[in-house]
Structures are given as structure tokens and as C-alpha cells.
Amino acid sequence: MLTPESLKVNRRVEDWKLRLIDLTKRNRAIYFQPTKTSHLTIVYPDVETVYSRLVSKGKNWEIRQPPLTRPGETPPKMRAPKSTEITPGWSDPNQLDRTLRNLSRRSQSEYMERGIRILYVTFGQLRWTEKDKGQEVVSPLLLTPVELARDSPREP
């Protein structure tokens, strides 16, 4: 039989458990909303290859940069990607550079200030509908922490 003290402790523990998980729309691990500067879609290679090299083998990926072109110029032909390169969904090199710099800056800032990693590669998405509102929600399924690095400050 539970004593009044143990019931009080159990209630307190349950309250703490509820507070540990942020179930509000601010939690991007539940309510993911992609923006131009907060995410990068990988179009090549496939998910299994990216996962295998990154997680299973613990090896790095290089981000394939589209060639810079001036307005009115015909873009040069893209070379075939190397086996160590991922191809992002951005075809505009300036937008890709802005996105990568933003992700890197925010990630480093959070790590320096709070000691937590906030940059992840997501493998798979769960699409579900909120019962009360009927709104479709996208939630990442498997998150793997990553870090962006450059060979030098002048490198893309």
C-alpha cells in the first residue's frame, strides 16, 4: 500500500517527466518546419549510403558546391560527384553558402554557450495529423548529430 508521502513523491516524479519533454510547437524535433536557412536537403547519394558512411563507418562527407556563375552566364556542366561528396538540393551557390554558414554559426554558438549540439542529419520523416486541429505535422525519425567544418576560412 502506498503511503501519502510516496504518492506525493510519485506525483512529483510524474510532473518532472512531463516537464522534461517540450511538446509545444517550439520543439523542432516534433514540429519540423523547414526554412531556407535552417535545413539542407540531400539529393545524392541515397539515404542508405549517407547513413552507412556517416554513422556505421564514422567517415566524413564533403558538400558538393555548384559552380559560381554570373547573371546571364551559362552555367558550366557539373562534373560527376566523388564518392565522398553529397549533393545538396540547392542549385544556387550563394544560397547554399548562406545556408551552410547560418547552420555552422548557429551550431557553434549553441555549443559554445550551452554545450549542446543542435545540428543533425535526419534520416526519415514521420508525417502525421494532429487529432484536434487536423493539421499535418512532419517529425524527424532518426537524428544523428553532425558538425560542419571547413579546411580554411576562405574555403566554401
Q: What is the pLDDT of residues 20-42, one digit of tens each?
A: 677 778 888 888 888 878 888 89
According to the model, what pLDDT value does residue 53 have?
Answer: 93
pTM, rounded to two decimals: 0.70
Tell whether the model's pLDDT for residue 156 goes beyond 70: no
- Average pLDDT (102-111) is 90
What CA–CA distance (Å, rounded) separates 40 from 7? 48
* Mean residue pLDDT across the chain: 84
According to the model, what pLDDT value does residue 57 have?
Answer: 93
DSSP code for 116: -
Tell whether the model's pLDDT for residue 154 goes beyond 80: no
Residue 131 one-letter amino acid:
K
Tell whether the model's pLDDT for residue 17 goes beyond 80: no
Q: In a 10 Å sphere around its CB, with 0-12 CB exposed, 13-18 middle and 19+ buried, how is residue 150 labelled?
A: exposed
DSSP code for 76: P
Question: Is residue 43 classed as helix, strand or coil in its secondary structure?
Answer: strand
According to the model, what pLDDT value does residue 11 have?
Answer: 86
What confidence tier does 132 reach under pLDDT thresholds 50, 70, 90? confident
Question: Is residue 11 classed as helix, strand or coil in its secondary structure?
Answer: helix
CB atoms < 10 A from the CB of 86, how many?
Answer: 19
